Amino acid sequence: MALQLPFRFGSKSAETPMESRARQSKMMEYDQPLVWVTLLLMLLGMVMVYSASISLPDSPKFANYVRWQNTYFLQRQMMFIAVSMIVGLFVFRIRISDLQKAAPYLFIGTLVLLVLVLIPGIGVVVNGGRRWLSLKVFNVQPSELMKVVAVLYAADYTVRKQQVMHKLTKGFMPMAAAVGFVGLLLLLEPDLGAFGVIVCIAMGILFLGGINAVWFGGIGAVLVLIFGSIIALSKFRRERYFAYLNPWEEDNALNKAYQLTHSLIAFGRGEIFGVGLGGSVEKLHYLPEAHTDFLLAVIGEELGLAGVLVVIALFYWIIKRAFDIGRQAIAIDQTFAGLTAKGIGIWIGVQTFINMGVNLGLLPTKGLTLPLMSYGGTGVVINCIGLAILLRIDYENRVLMRGGRL
């Protein structure tokens, strides 16, 4: 019989087969690549926000910021990212089961905030839209909060109504009424873009949850009719839509399609590898909202097609990872967690697609920011909350697959 020493030397060969198998099967506790991709997008966004906003203090519109010189928006974005990371760490520690219990109350609370926005003296008006609540240090945009809350509420609703999802009156109509009320409040702000994203989130989760395919198709057609009617009945939106169809017509290029034409010029100047970081001309008061809605145009001008493709690839990776985590959660009977993960993927994917489509002239101009990258406190914080929830779902998946308890 071979003698087994009570200790082993530092070499790998001294490990027993059982120890070697245990070491090889060890699983990371969280998705490190997802964290690094998220941080990369935020840091790249911070650099591009600085580049896009460096000339803004020269404009009379931003004259109040001149005391901060050219770093005002950079400093604010750095602060937003720091706050987002702290809030994300806090949210990551919340169990998914607790989020499921809180989902209806979070939905009601966010509805109250959407109502408060519309009250004169409480809601803050910026560029003609009443979408913000002032907290002195920065403004909060409840419509952004509603996006992540809509994911949680739709996932919870689908789980609770699983047995009647194939029925129109019991399965779909209550959710439609809730989303319709949210839509009414958002259209009063007005914020058609946020309404569109929330509708896509709710419909996507209901579809994944097993809603009747016939009803789903019919409801989709009704939604197209509703959005078409909203555009047709609003002179401003109607003019913007027709300008989008022919942006280079002189009157359109100088008015409703002004942002679109200058965005396309920025992409054209960038060509394959861009004019170089900081070399954009369009950001010099030609392209409005270059640091928010049209940040991708500045990326295209300064970093070229190569830079835009890198950004698209990073967002694609996050969205794919969200669906992979959701599928994994459903496979281990965590239905709410799985639908929530996929809902986050739908949310990030739809908003990214709309923003990029607007910048590239594929969609009519709409005020939606590029997730994680565009300037703005509420947007970055809420995006990080969504991704923190996604990381928590993945963490709980790993614990359960190891046979642990939550």
Distance CA 217, CA 201 (A): 16
- How confident is the model at residue 167, as a pLDDT? 76
Spatial CA neighbour of 367 closest among 127, 204, 170: 127
Distance CA 58, CA 283 (A): 12
User: How buried is 196 (Cβ within 10 angstroms: 0-12 exposed, 13-18 middle, 19+ buried)?
Assistant: buried
Distance CA 112, CA 14 (A): 64
User: How buried is 139 (Cβ within 10 angstroms: 0-12 exposed, 13-18 middle, 19+ buried)?
Assistant: middle
- How confident is the model at residue 161, as a pLDDT? 86
- How confident is the model at residue 65, as a pLDDT? 58
- How confident is the model at residue 242, as a pLDDT? 79
Distance CA 388, CA 308 (A): 25
- How confident is the model at residue 403, as a pLDDT? 83
Low-confidence ranges of the chain (pLDDT < 50): 1-15, 17-25
Q: pLDDT tens for residues 228-261? A: 887 777 777 787 787 888 888 888 888 888 899 9
Distance CA 403, CA 401 (A): 5
Token look-up 């990776």 returns 317
Q: Which residues contact 273 (CB under 8 A, 6 or more apart)?
A: 303, 304, 305, 306
Tokens of 140: 């909060």
- How confident is the model at residue 343, as a pLDDT? 96
Q: Which residues contact 136 (CB under 8 A, 6 or more apart)?
A: none
- How confident is the model at residue 69, as a pLDDT? 67
CB 80 within 8 A of CB 376: yes
Pairing label, strands 139-140, 123-126: unpaired
Cα distances (Å, whole numbers) of residue 231 to 77, 154, 197, 355, 362: 34, 26, 16, 18, 17
Length of the chain: 406
